[in-house]
Amino acid sequence: MNLLDLPQDVLIPIVELLTQQDALQLASVSRLAHTLAMPRVLFHVDLGGARSLGVAYQKPQAKRCLPKMASLVSLILENPAADYAHDIRSLVLTWDTIDPLPQFAQGYVAHVPTFARALGHAINLRKLEIHKAESVMKFSSAMADMLASYDRLQYIRLQDVAERAMSLLARTRSRLREVVLENVHSEFEFDLLRSHAETLEVLRMTAFAVERPPSIGDIWRRVHTLQFIGYNGSRFPLTSLPRAFPRVRRLSLTSGSTHRHMDMDPTMSGPFAWPSLEILEVSPWWQLHLISPVRVLRIDAFISDGFAYNILQHARPVVLSLDLCYESELLPRTLAAPEGLRALRYLQLRGAHYYRRYNPHTRGVTHAGPLMDALTKLADRGGLPLHAVWLFYTDADWDLQATTPTSHESAVKSIAGLYPTLELIGLRRQGSTGFFSPPKLPVETTTIWYRVHRPLNGCGDDIVVEAAPSAETARITNYVENLGREA
């Protein structure tokens, strides 16, 4: 039986499982296969090569990208009856797609208006990414107008943006659900998002500056995730955000590549409440005086004297994640908020004090480094009702010779003995020889969960730990991360 003789409702799900390259090969088999496979081939169109911030122009990329553009234009405009552009759901444009460099343009620059006209047929586009977006928008007004004309976009990601590129947010006819701005070279204004007030759900910004709060009356009620990474300004209007985004469940205020202390205006960094928050991820260099409880609190390792460690007294997290790269600073300040840890059920300890060294031939697992030290100090405080502990450790944390399952079980039993309520202990190893050193190979990247079984008489010496099957890892991880969540 010929595969292509199968019913369409069977063939289409099969084709959707193919890679784009495999779908392209299938399309060359016959006319029927071509019709069947081309929607999969064109579902995601990536034009260009440069991706990361700061990537220098590479001539071979331009040579590859310009023919891509011409090929797509030819396919769309020379086959109008096929409506190929209607199959495009995701489009990636890069600066080298249309950058007018004479030595490589070879006539393609003259085709940019035609390129814009061809992409104008992509009426079903849902996802748009533009790298070096400001360059793209400056180069072609026709391109800018065409991108603004899309009315079904749900997701936009703009990299390397300034006024022209950001204006696309206000100009687009689409009502967006997710906006991602990376490396923003001019001040961001919340007014640009006004037309998306009824649809926006996620806002992510990296390397940006915001000086003015959202205008009074502007409210984005559907937004559930805000992520701000690498803030480059001086006075972030943080306390105005709960009013403008009253239903945010996840807030990330993290450092990214920028580790600077912000001289915030006290009127903008004073105490404030955000009742909807469930998950808070924060770098200590944010002067955050949140007085609302959160279920999950993650604090990374970049220490600043301006950080309000009394946040724990109000946050009272059920899940707490600490990065102990600078354990000597972070842990004592965490321990200074005993009332803030009374609800704690799941503790994550990450990182290592890379400047601190241990004898690799030491055999006492109870002296395995800063992670074990931290757990012991927390246990000495008493009263922590922990159900689960997860440790991300490196060779600097753990006995370098303690790599066998037996040695891991011994370490897990030592931890279980510190907390009588512990049920699950997770270990995840990342090999490293020191600060800024590449990881050793092979690197274990999978968490191993151990179940703790205690005797009825409560005798610590009889504690039994058992490694859970790897098939259960995802389920256990989901369970501990959702501790304290309301049904």
Q: Give the residues across from 44 on adjacent strands.
A: 90
Mean pLDDT of all residues in 8-28: 72
How far is CA 421 from each of CA 260, 346, 445, 457, rounded to the nearest angstrom?
40, 11, 27, 14
For the ranges 43-47, 80-84, 128-132, 177-181, the one whose mean pLDDT is highest = 177-181
Residue 150 has pLDDT above 50, yes or no: yes
**What pLDDT is recorded for position 353?**
43
- Tell whether 6 is covered by a domain: yes
**3-class DSSP state for residue 438?**
coil
- For 98, counting Cβ atoms within 10 Å of its Cβ (0-12 exposed, 13-18 middle, 19+ buried), the class is buried
263/487: higher pLDDT: 487
Q: Give the residues across from 346 on adjacent strands.
A: 319, 388
Q: Give the residues across from 46 on adjacent strands.
A: 92
**3-class DSSP state for residue 66?**
helix
For residues 398-425, one letter each, b for 16 or more C-beta atoms within 10 angstroms of the residue's C-beta and e for the rest, the string is bbeebeeeebbbebbbbbbbbbeebbbb
Residue 104 has pLDDT above 60, yes or no: no
Domain containing 14 — which CATH number?
A: 1.20.1280
**What pLDDT is recorded for position 66?**
56
Cα–Cα distance, 389 to 449 (Å, whole number): 10
**What pLDDT is recorded for position 457?**
62
How many CB atoms lie under 10 A from the CB of residue 306? Answer: 15
- Tell whether 156 is covered by a domain: no
Mean pLDDT of all residues in 388-396: 76
According to DSSP, the β-strands at 448-453 and 424-430 are: antiparallel
- Tell whether 149 is covered by a domain: no
Cα–Cα distance, 110 to 96 (Å, whole number): 15
- Tell whether 330 is covered by a domain: yes
Mean pLDDT of all residues in 405-411: 72
- Tell whether 32 is covered by a domain: yes
- Tell whether 303 is covered by a domain: no
Mean pLDDT of all residues in 73-96: 86
How far is CA 140 from each of CA 113, 114, 116, 164, rounded to the nearest angstrom?
8, 11, 9, 11
Residue 149 has pLDDT above 70, yes or no: yes
Q: Identify the DSSP state of 334.
A: H
The range of the structural domain enclosing residue 463 comes to 318-487
**What pLDDT is recorded for position 327?**
55
Q: Give the residues across from 205 on adjacent strands.
A: 181, 228
Share of the chain above pLDDT 90, in %: 33
For the segment 190-213, what is each residue's pLDDT rounded down to a tens digit?
999 999 999 999 999 999 988 889
Cα–Cα distance, 281 to 187 (Å, whole number): 23
**What pLDDT is recorded for position 80?**
81
Domain count across the chain: 2
Give the angle 173-174-175 at the CA atoms, nearest 5°: 120
**What pLDDT is recorded for position 57?**
41
* pTM of the predicted model over 0.75: yes
Packed helices 370-381 and 327-335: angle between N→C axes, nearest 10 degrees: 10
> Where does the pLDDT of residue 404 fall: very low under 50, low under 70, confident under 90, or very high at 90 and above?
low
Residue 106 has pLDDT above 50, yes or no: no
- Tell whether 151 is covered by a domain: no
Cα–Cα distance, 241 to 222 (Å, whole number): 14
- Tell whether 20 is covered by a domain: yes
How many CB atoms lie under 10 A from the CB of residue 192? Answer: 17
> Where does the pLDDT of residue 482 fall: very low under 50, low under 70, confident under 90, or very high at 90 and above?
very high
**What pLDDT is recorded for position 239?**
87
**3-class DSSP state for residue 133?**
helix
**What pLDDT is recorded for position 381?**
76
How many CB atoms lie under 10 A from the CB of residue 60? Answer: 10
For the segment 39-82, what is each residue's pLDDT rounded down to a tens digit?
888 889 988 754 433 344 444 444 445 567 778 888 888 888 77
CB 232 within 8 A of CB 258: yes
Residue 170 has pLDDT above 80, yes or no: yes
What's the alpha-carbon Rg for the chain, to the nearest Å?
A: 27
**Lowest-confidence segment of 78-82, 388-392, 402-406 by average pLDDT:** 402-406
- Does the bond joining 442 to the residue before it have cis omega, within 30 degrees of 0? yes
